Amino acid sequence: MQDEDREVVDRIRAGETEAYALLVRKHQARIRSFCLWTLGNAAEADDAAQEVFIKAYRGLGAFRGTAGFSTWLHRIAVNHCRDLLRSRVRDRGRTESWDALREREGEQAEARISQDPPAAQRRQLQEALAQLPEQYRTILILREGEGMNYQELAEFLGCSLDAVKARLRRARSELVEKARHFFDPADVQ
């Protein structure tokens, strides 16, 4: 599969620019999903995914092919979403805690929890993810949201399999701790 992507990249570099649509169609759903999990807003995720593909197209000259195209593309997505989150935090001043949200929104915050469970739970999970350090949020989204295996994560992160496993263990543990603020304690393990 990586060889197919490299062949398409070679075709684009040779002047067949319309071949880029093949890469967009192939990777669009995963990149958008990553952006959605990271940003927590569908409209922002659509815009971010589009920007990721524009940045990737403009940066194809920098693609060396030592890692897979998908890995390279996800790195662009991580960096782009990180920039968006930083600007969001600057705009907001800081990420809100559950207590601050409840104090600011009052009963509306409580009502959000009692909404349609799948939508409310997804939003709550995204809020808990947003409170994690970036490295933990990224590895969890790539593993649990994008389905990357340990080997792909090791390649993406540039570390050993043992380091991936340890980081995932710490990330999951911290997510459970953050999630306690959003879910019924009986639902959080």
27-55 pLDDT, tens digit each? 999 999 999 988 888 899 999 999 999 99
Per the listing, tokens 């071949």 go with 19
134-188 pLDDT, tens digit each? 889 889 988 888 888 898 888 888 889 999 999 999 999 998 888 776 655 555 5
Question: CA 72, CA 74: separation in Å to the nearest integer?
Answer: 5
5-9, 90-94, 125-129 — which is least confidently predicted?
90-94
Per the listing, tokens 């967009």 go with 24
Could you give the residue range(s) of every CATH 1.10.1740.10 domain in the chain? 1-94
pLDDT at 113: 44
16-20, 22-26, 91-95 — which is least confidently predicted?
91-95
pLDDT at 128: 80
Beta-carbon count within 10 A of 160 CB = 11
Could you give the residue range(s) of every CATH 1.10.10.10 domain in the chain? 102-189
Q: What percent of the chain has pLDDT over 90?
A: 39
CATH architecture of 102-189: Orthogonal Bundle (1.10)
Instruction: Tell me, rounded to whole angstroms, the distance of Cα 182 from its chain centroid.
Output: 20
The structure's pTM equals: 0.65
3 state SS for the chain: CHHHHHHHHHHHHCCCHHHHHHHHHHHHHHHHHHHHHHHCCHHHHHHHHHHHHHHHHHCHHHCCCCCCHHHHHHHHHHHHHHHHHHHHHHHHCCCCCHHHHHHHHCHHHHHHHCCCHHHHHHHHHHHHHHCCCHHHHHHHHHHHHCCCCHHHHHHHHCCCHHHHHHHHHHHHHHHHHHHCCCCCHHHCC
**Is residue 144 within 8 Å of residue 128, measured between CB atoms?**
no
59-104 pLDDT, tens digit each? 998 898 888 899 999 999 999 998 888 787 665 544 455 556 556 6
pLDDT at 95: 45
Question: CA 142, CA 119: separation in Å to the nearest integer?
Answer: 21
- Number of residues that this document lists for the chain: 189
14-18, 103-107, 147-151 — which is least confidently predicted?
103-107
Higher per-residue confidence, 106 vs 177: 177
CATH architecture of 1-94: Orthogonal Bundle (1.10)
